[in-house]
Amino acid sequence: MSAVKVASGIAYDYVSGIRNQRVFPDAEALAGLQNFDKPLPTTGTNCQQVLEQLHSYGSPATVATTGGRYFGLVVGGSTPAAMGANIITSAWDQIALMEASSPIVSQLEKIAGRWALELLHLPSEAFVGFVTGTTMAHVSALAAARHYLYQKQGYDLAEQGLHNAPELKVVLPEEAHISVLKALRLLGFGRSQFIFVPCDTQGRIIESAVPEFSDNMILVLQAGNLNSGSSDDFSALIPKAKKAGSWVHVDGAFGLWARASKKKSALVEGVENADSWAVDAHKWLNTPYDCGMCIVRHKQALKEVMTTSAAYVETQDMWQAKDMLPEFSRRARAVEVWAAIAELGSQGIEELVDRCCLYAEMLAEGLESLGFNILNDVVINQVVAYLPDINLQRAMLQKVQQSGECWFGKTTWQGREAIRLSVSSWATTEDDIQRSLKAIARAIDEVKQQAN
């Protein structure tokens, strides 16, 4: 098919030039998007022309997250094998429903899941499901948690619903990520059920402020605060919660990957004793978007919540994806996870994590030399910094973003407006770090000169 050749050529052209592309599109590229805004076509267009239009006007207006100087969201690039697997998976167009709908996807999901558990040093008996991202991983795991706790109390949620259900409480850090709160809302939890616990200056939950645990509680902890990158004290908190009969869920979107590094694993020691975990592959594993993993120790509880039954999808395998996850029609995300792990190996993934952490330290040191104050202990890949002159900081940020040299955004943390840089891409090099620091220094100088 000529369309496949054309698309492959476009993909190669785009990726091969990514290091020379602006990290954020300029005004001309953004204006070019108007070329897509036309009336609904009456007749079709040759597929090659359609693809060339995407490349001509779409490629220049992308954000170069597959390059090495995007430090905005915690976003990895796409490793070569993972990107290639994404292209092959699109050609396969498989339905990741069950073994009968795609034997290859079913097999790779099992292998990729097993490999992920080994990399993250989590219980081998846990179920790993591939979902769109951490938000749906939270939804899945927390649904299992609710079912599990109600079941222990003798309440049949599937039969009786939520109307007269016993009360459950959710204990979580004040700095819990918004994806956790969204997941809880989707499951019908209300604000009156939340017990927010204060955090220390690094965003870690304060153990002494945690309420007494009980068997009607879900404790949500963080592996990797979204600003600081710091993790809660799992070794101290999880045993107490489990002894009381609480369910412990860990938001480990990116921080859980510290488990893959011998240098950083101590930061998340004890996390393996939780009941469920949410983690993204499209962050530190550097698979294409979108790919999250829902990991649940008590897989029977997850199955009882998610199971589906229809004559045309019956199967003998009790752990089919259709019975374990929210989506019925799923993309074959595990293929890319398998490819990324196969390409890098455990040593390569460890090196990737360590390298990103080293570059974060280099960024912090460079920013300090430019007059920034660093707000967080740079323990993994996150840097939060501020300039004493807030107006200079704002003007600098705007200039850097407009320059296209690199991209990072602002945040508000510990009551202070700051900038946040996240180093998560396999493609980032020391040269990228130095180029970014030079862009920041140049922007500061330009702002000061204009002020004078």
User: DSSP of 87-115, one letter per residue?
Assistant: HHHHHHT--TT-TTT-HHHHHHHHHHHHH
The per-residue pLDDT for 311 is 47
Question: Per the domain annotation, does 238 fall within a domain?
Answer: yes
Shared domain for 130 and 28, answered yes or no, is no
Residue 112's CATH number: 3.40.640.10
The per-residue pLDDT for 148 is 97
CA distance 335 to 338: 5
Question: Per the domain annotation, does 240 fall within a domain?
Answer: yes
Question: Per the domain annotation, does 427 fall within a domain?
Answer: no
- Using the Cα atoms of residue 274, residue 278, residue 284 and residue 286 in order, give the sign of their dihedral: positive
Q: What distance lies between CA 81 and its chain's CA centroid? A: 19
Q: What distance lies between CA 90 and its chain's CA centroid? A: 22
Question: Per the domain annotation, does 414 fall within a domain?
Answer: no
- In the block, residue with structure tokens 């860990």: 250
Shared domain for 209 and 312, answered yes or no, is yes
> Given 324, 340, 356, which residue is the final one in a domain?
340
CA distance 350 to 258: 8
The per-residue pLDDT for 314 is 61
Shared domain for 46 and 134, answered yes or no, is no
Shared domain for 101 and 214, answered yes or no, is yes
Shared domain for 249 and 164, answered yes or no, is yes
One DSSP character per residue, 277-310 reads EEEESSSTT-PPSS-EEEEES-HHHHHHHH----
- Give the bridge partners for 223, in sequence order: 231
Domains of the chain: total: 2
Amino acid making up residue 86: N
Whole-structure pTM over 0.75, yes or no?
A: yes
CA angle 341, 343, 345 (to 5 degrees): 55
What is the pairing mode between strands 409-413 and 169-173? unpaired
Shared domain for 116 and 49, answered yes or no, is no
Please name the helix (run of DSSP H) or strand (run of DSSP E) that holds residue 280, with its range, or none.
strand 276-280
Question: Per the domain annotation, does 385 fall within a domain?
Answer: no
The per-residue pLDDT for 315 is 62
Shared domain for 181 and 217, answered yes or no, is yes
Shared domain for 46 and 129, answered yes or no, is no
> Given 282, 313, 340, which residue is the final one in a domain?
340
Three-class SS state of 136:
helix
Residues 6+ apart with CB under 8 A from 197: 171, 172, 173, 174, 205, 206, 209, 210, 211
Question: Per the domain annotation, does 104 fall within a domain?
Answer: yes
Shared domain for 91 and 40, answered yes or no, is no
Shared domain for 96 and 45, answered yes or no, is no
Shared domain for 46 and 127, answered yes or no, is no
Question: Per the domain annotation, does 440 fall within a domain?
Answer: no
If you compute the radius of gyration of the chain from its CA atoms, what whole number of angstroms results? Answer: 23
> Given 281, 306, 340, which residue is the final one in a domain?
340
Q: What is the pLDDT along the chain (452 residues), one digit of tens a residue?
A: 578 899 999 999 999 999 889 999 999 999 999 999 999 999 999 999 999 999 999 999 999 999 999 999 898 889 999 999 999 999 999 999 888 889 999 999 999 999 999 999 999 999 999 999 999 999 999 999 999 999 999 999 988 999 899 999 999 999 999 999 999 999 999 999 999 999 999 999 999 999 999 999 999 999 999 999 999 999 999 999 999 999 999 999 999 999 999 999 999 999 999 999 999 999 999 999 999 999 999 999 999 999 876 544 566 667 788 899 999 889 999 999 999 999 999 999 999 999 999 999 999 999 999 999 999 999 999 999 999 999 999 999 999 999 999 999 999 998 999 999 999 999 999 999 999 999 999 999 999 999 88
Domain that holds residue 263: 83-340
The per-residue pLDDT for 310 is 58
Shared domain for 30 and 94, answered yes or no, is no
Question: Per the domain annotation, does 356 fall within a domain?
Answer: no
